[in-house]
Amino acid sequence: MVKKIKNIRMAPCLLCGFNSSAVIYRKDTWQYLQCNNCGLVSIYPKLSETGVLNNYEAYLPTDILEIKKWKKMMRPVIETSVRIIRSRTKIDPGRLLDIGCGFGFFLNAMKQNHWEVAGIEISKGGRQYAKDHYDIDIYSKPLEALSLPDSYFDVVTLFYVIEHVADPITVLNEVNRILKPGGLVLIRWPHTTPIVKLLGPLSKHLDLYHTPYHLYDFSKQTIKQAITLSGFTGIETLVGGYTLAPDWINRWPSIVFGLLGELLFRLSGRKFHLPGISKTTVAFKPSEP
């Protein structure tokens, strides 16, 4: 087990305002702290907003073989997410925004289902690929800087983004504002902390938090809390497929644990979530009375 170093004081927890946390992981000068009240894991020290964004300008690979691997890796999650959205929205096709859309793979999948799509991507290579291959124009600025209109989108998606943003509550508030009443948000998030705790010192070699890129690590409870704070209802966490690692050594665990997670979820009457595997959470902006 990870040795718990004595509690340290920190800035109040983003979710619950509690002032005490435990160090659960260290790498170089970074620490990951777990709130002693709500369990939210966050990095310390925190990067500034500018520092965060500067990290992403050249974040995505540019080599075409690497991009193809990325596409293959995300395929099961993308296909599952298309089904999740289409089975839960009354409007189909509708208007969708994908925040942190990468190369535009998911946007293209929705475009092929006749959805009107828009994306945000800080990484220039991602935007260029989406334009060249799918003819989709992508915003280059972060969501908060775009001043998008109120109640405009039917669906907003964030795949592996929420753990990277400096202030997830501000981002989710903004997502709520730009969604139409009754609109849906879909968030795909990694659930890394249980594996880090299970592996103990061995987890250092894997650096599963991608230090310092993951600023937060959510659980089913803390993601629900963050989404609720931002005014969403009807929150539902699903397995949502699994990522398909390009090499066989990493691929079989993702398939085995992904399928096991889905099996246990179904056998438990959609209640049990296998800790440690990525999850998909959906929620709705309340309809106007």
- Does residue 16 belong to the site contacting Zn ion (CB under 5 A)? yes
CB of 84 to Zn ion, least distance (A): 28
Q: Which residues, including other chains, have CB under 8 Å from residue 55's CB and lie 6 or more apart?
A: 47, 213
Q: Which is nearer to Zn ion, 32 or 265 (CB)?
A: 32
Q: Which residues, including other chains, have CB under 8 Å from residue 88's CB and lie 6 or more apart?
A: 184, 282
CB of 12 to Zn ion, least distance (A): 8
Residue with structure tokens 């925004």?
A: 97
Select the span of 8-16, 62-70, 159-167, 204-212 touching Zn ion (CB under 5 A).
Answer: 8-16
Helix and strand element counts for the chain (H, E): 9, 12
Q: Which is nearer to Zn ion, 22 or 47 (CB)?
A: 22
Instruction: Say which DSSP state 111 is in.
Output: H
- What's the Rg (C-alpha) of the chain? 18
CB of 165 to Zn ion, least distance (A): 17
CA atoms within a 13 Å half-sphere pointing along the CA-CB vector of 221: 9
Select the span of 11-19, 57-65, 88-96, 145-153 touching Zn ion (CB under 5 A).
Answer: 11-19
Out of 38, 148, 229, 235, which residue is the one contacting Zn ion (CB under 5 A)? Answer: 38
Select the span of 10-18, 60-68, 119-127, 196-204 touching Zn ion (CB under 5 A).
Answer: 10-18
- Residue 123 gets the label, from left (phi > 0), alpha (psi -120 to 50) or beta, of beta
Residues lying near Zn ion in the complex (CB under 5 A) are found at 13, 15-16, 18, 35, 37-38, 40
